[in-house]
Amino acid sequence: MVRQVILLLTIVCCASASIDHKQITGLNKLLGLGDKAYATCNIVLFTELVQYEEANANCKKFNLGAGLGEEGRLATVDDEEKNHDLMALLEQAYPIVELNEDNKSPWTSEKWVWSGLRKTKKTDVVGLKRGDYDPLDWEWADGSHPLDFQRWFNFDNPKKAQPDQYSLKYGKKSSSDKKCDEKPRCYQNQMRINHDGLWDDTFKQLEHPYACDYQGKYVLSKEQLKWVDAKEACEEAGLHLAKIRSNEEVEEMLAAMVHFLGPVEELTEDNEWVDTNWLWVGGSDAGEEGTWVWTDGELVLPQEGSDWVFPWHEKKGNDNGSRKLRKKGGQDALSFSRWGEFDDSHIDNMETMRPFACQCPEDVGLHIH
C-alpha cells in the first residue's frame, strides 16, 4: 500500500536548466510541501527511507498523468538534465554539508537515492571482472537501457569501477549493517545515485529516499488567491498558469484536481459556485474584451477548423454573468470547474479567491509525453 506521503503530495516543477536550491525552496513554500517530497518537471523525490521493492511499488502507484490503466515508475535518469535534477533534489532534501558534519560515511542512506535502473540479466553474478559490464544487462523502469548515458562511480578506474556486483552470503551484513535476507546470496542488482550524480549498484534491502518519474504536466495549489496573484505565484516558481486546449487536457486536469484537491462532490445548486470547486487557469481577455489569450499570448478559443468545442458553462460562460457581478472589476479571468466547464470571472477581486493550476514550461523536455 502506498504510504500517505504519496497521497498528500503536491508536485512542483521548474525548468531544469535554471533549477537551484533557492527556487526549489520557494516552490515548496508556495505549495506547502514541507519536507516530504521535492520535485522538478521531470522527477519527484520522496524523502522517506525505504527498501528498493517498496520504492518500486510506491512509484508504480504514483501514476498521475500516465494515462488510464498505466502504471507509474521509478525514475529513468537517462540524460544529464534528469541526472542534474536528481542531484539538486537530493541536496535539497539532505544537504551534504550537514551529513558530513555528522561524520556520515559515503554509503549512508541519506547520501543516495533509488532510481529505476536494475539488472535484469545475469542477476546472479558474484563480482564483476573488468570488461564484463554490459549495459544491455541493465534496464530502466521504462524498458530502455543505459546505452548513451551512464554515470557509474569510478567507471574509468579498473580497481574501483562500479558496477562491481559485490554479493553477500545469507545472514551477512553489508556496510550499512543490513543483513542479507535471501538464500543463498544477495546480489547488487539495483542502482542508486549520490549527491554528485554518480551511480552505484547495491542491495535491494538497503533503505534510501526514492525518485519517481512525474508523468503529468499540471501543478495545483490549494491556496486560494486572486487570479493576478495566482499568475504571479506560478511565474515566481518558474511555471505559468495552466493551459487547457483539448478534451484530453480537460480529462488530465480533472484527474489532477481529484488528486490534489480531493474527490469531486455530486453537482448541486448549492455547491456549483463554491470557490473550491473552481480553479484559476491562464486565460484572460483583459487586453481586449472577447479575445481570450493564454498568458503566453496563444489564443484560448479553438480556431476555425478545430474539432474541439470549448466547454463554456451553459448559463454563465463568456461574460454571461449578472450585471451586478460584472461591475466588480470585469470578468476577464478564466476559471475551470471540477465538472469540466470554463467560466469567466473577476481578475483582481478579493471576493473571488480560488485554488489555481500551474504548468511546466512546454519547452522543457518532460521525457514522459
Q: Domain map of the chain by residue range?
A: 4-213, 220-359
Q: Is 160 left (phi over 0), alpha (psi -120 to 50) or beta?
A: alpha
Structural contact between residues 54 and 28, judged by C-beta atoms closer than 8 angstroms? no
Report the pLDDT value the prediction gives residue 7, as an integer from 0 to 100. 28
Report the pLDDT value the prediction gives residue 26, as an integer from 0 to 100. 53
Q: Report the CATH fold assignment for 220-359.
A: Mannose-Binding Protein A; Chain A (3.10.100)
Q: Can 4-213 and 220-359 be said to share one CATH topology?
A: yes
Residue 331 grid cell: 470578468
pTM: 0.76
Dist. CA 141–CA 302, nearest whole Å: 37
Question: What residue has cell string 483539448?
Answer: 246
SS (H, E, C) the chain: CCCHHHHCCCCCCCCHHHCCHHHHHHHHHHHCCCCCEEECCCEEEEEEEECHHHHHHHHHHCCCCCCCCCCCCECCCCCHHHHHHHHHHHHHHCCHHHHHHCCCCCCCHHHEEEEEEEECCCCCCCCCCCCCCCHHHEECCCCCCCCCCCCECCCCCCCCCCCCCCEEECCCECCCCCECCCCCEEECCEEEEECCCCEEEECCCCCEEEEEECCCCEEEEEEEECHHHHHHHHHHCCCEECCCCCHHHHHHHHHHHHHHHCCCCCCCCCCCCCHHHEEEEEEECCCCCCCCECCCCCECCCCCCCCCCCCECCCCCCCCCCHHHHCCCCCCEEEEECCCCEEEECCCCCCCCEEEEEECCCCCCCCCC
> pLDDT per position in the chain (369 positions), as tens?
333 333 233 444 443 444 556 556 555 555 555 668 887 778 889 999 999 999 999 999 887 666 667 889 999 999 998 999 899 999 989 999 999 998 778 999 999 999 999 999 999 988 877 678 999 999 999 999 999 999 999 888 878 889 999 999 999 988 777 899 999 999 999 999 999 999 999 999 999 999 999 877 887 888 899 999 999 888 877 789 999 999 999 998 998 888 778 888 888 888 889 988 999 999 999 999 889 999 999 999 998 888 899 999 987 666 654 444 444 456 899 999 999 999 999 888 888 999 999 887 765 433 322
Report the pLDDT value the prediction gives residue 97, as an integer from 0 to 100. 93
Q: 39 pairs with which residues across the strands?
A: 44
Structural contact between residues 253 and 306, judged by C-beta atoms closer than 8 angstroms? no
Q: Report the CATH fold assignment for 4-213.
A: Mannose-Binding Protein A; Chain A (3.10.100)
Dist. CA 227–CA 223, nearest whole Å: 12
Cα Dmax for the chain:
79
Dist. CA 167–CA 51, nearest whole Å: 17
